[in-house]
Structure 1
Amino acid sequence: MVAPPWFELPPRGYGGIEAMCADLTDALVARGHDVTLVAAGRNGTRAHRMLRTYDVPQGPRLGEPLPEVLHAAATGRLLDDLDVDVVHDHTLAGPLLARGRSIPTVVTTHGPLEGEPGEYYRHLGDSVHLVAISESQRSQAPDLNWAGTVHNALRASDFPYRRDKEDWVFFLGRCTPDKGMHLAIDAARAAGREIKLAAKCSEPAERAYFEAEIEPRLGPGVEWLGEVTGERKKRLLARAHCLLFPLQWEEPFGMVMIEAMVCGTPVVTLRRGSVPEVVVDGVTGLVREHVAELPEAIDAAGALDPRDCRNHVIEHFQPDTMAAGYEAVYRRVLSAAPSPAPLTGAVPTRADMAPVA
């Protein structure tokens, strides 16, 4: 399991890919697999062994190319000494080395695939086996070498459930135009409700958006919290009347939606990206076509049952479900490998499973 070098596993704050890697690693170990983790910083997972590329995660250098490239080079050297069945890579640069090894490489595509990202994976061809995190993401580039689609997940037991909600609405995400924070403020005001805003706002582009679109909208009924993480984030999600998520792009997945629902909080959002795969309209949230429809949806969200929201996540977005999906991918890839692999044939039930990863 090759994680990015930016944050430790699991991350203490920001780090959605790292959180997913940690949950998947733990779930695979719980299902009987022997997992070696390649990452940076401390190991907070149940992996049988961890191989570090950096003693300190490189989060402050996020966006620079060299940490990612060095991480990939170190991973390639470490893999020379390992006896594994599958390499599962979650980095951007790491898949460049897949063509030079006989071990199959599975790559989860965590970001958008339009433009250059899609071209990148096209050049990699069949040297990697790609896994989408939603059918929406996969539809952006159906010609790539896909091995499957597996939704992200979270551990429901890590999140509080609260049935009784407060009157304010919540925005949680990054401070970027594609998340639509300015539209969330406008919709909350139109609905006559207070809104609390929690967002990462540290990069130059994020600060520029904040100064242009958010700061002028601050005032009565609009509370800026900045970046919130950990238990505070979870308490806010559980208390809110709804999560307001007016997406302005084709979001590949949107972890914040399942984080809200598992707390019993419905999601009011627009029909973009993976939303129809994640939110059950009229049950766990309200999915609208146009921004102008959001104020009415905010009011209507109070009629939804918080227990339905949580149960939907427990049923569809738990780490064990995610791990089962990746097991099927690993077996499919191994059965198609040109050289004999230790595991072949149809995807078995859990009772039939033997360690593969």
Structure 2
Amino acid sequence: MTADGTTLRGADLSTVREAVASGDPLPGTGGFAGEIDGRLVCDVLGREPLYLDAASDAREWSFDPTDLEEPELLDAGTVVEPDGDRRRVWSLPDLSPETDREAAVDAVRDAVLTSVREPDSDGLAVAFSGGVDSAVVAAGVPDVPCYVAGFADAESHDVDAARAAADAMDRDLRVVAFDHDDIERAVPEIVRATGRSNAMDVGIALPLYFVAERAAADGYDRLAVGQGADELFGGYRKVVDPAEDHRVEADSVRGATREVIGSLPDQLPRDVLTLRAAGVEPVAPLLHDRVIDAALRLPADLLATEAERKVGFRRAVAGVVPDDVRGAEKKAVQYGTYAARELDRLARQAGYKRRMDDHVGQYIDALVAGDA
């Protein structure tokens, strides 16, 4: 049991019991983890991170790795039996592509709209970058405020895109402008919360942290995010022609997309822990089981082509968000907000030059140690 007495998050006991018994990887939840009937469990994508204490023989565990002496992330899809035996119970299903393209898009539309409309608006805000993913999430909760982060001394891509999208959708947008002092303050907090100090993870986490921190200061305790759509629906360039792209091992669009989905269990703990450290609980409607199921059934040409990515997803949300927003391309959050650029600038100003090996990582380590 954790310090706050919580033993299971994300689903009710009966649903998880049935999922353990049947091996159903998509039992209709948004992810779950915790202790049930003496077992520790973590869903198929690790949407609710759970940590074991590798230094303890007493099977100590927590949702917060900072509670433990040597935290070890439990693998997604795993059940740990009372005797300590670990077994992989859930894996992503290998679903055949839907041959009726219209039906495939309709299934995505139904799953996505059901999921984004499900969250209770009370205490909820939306992380809003102006791209189609966050716009769809925002469309599901039309009365809540939207937040975007960007570096203070420049009009970043994400702020520009968010303003245009918010105007088109008639939404309340709150811009969180962060500066170098904010970055220097936040980096050690993010590293302590997530246990990650590499430049990529920290750069991604920074704008999430600033948005969540401002939303929490404004009185919101939950933040809806668009995480998962790029992975599920073919949003990455590397899935377009995987046979020619060294970044994936698969040689088909569907295979590469599945490979990318498989990266979520490593990414999600960073985002979840960052948001919680900033004072909000994440809400990720596009990672619900029903959305995953619909995405896994999309044929290749409704995932990514040379002309377009997230093809089926964009078609599914026609009429839900304005066409200009639906078709917009966006940069990765660390670049669209200038978080990565300014982290690099701070590293160089502190004497960590680009010719040095992992100069930004060395700067992050120095910040955490208080030596920068």
TM-score grouping bracket, smaller chain normalisation: under 0.3
TM-score, length basis structure 1: 0.28
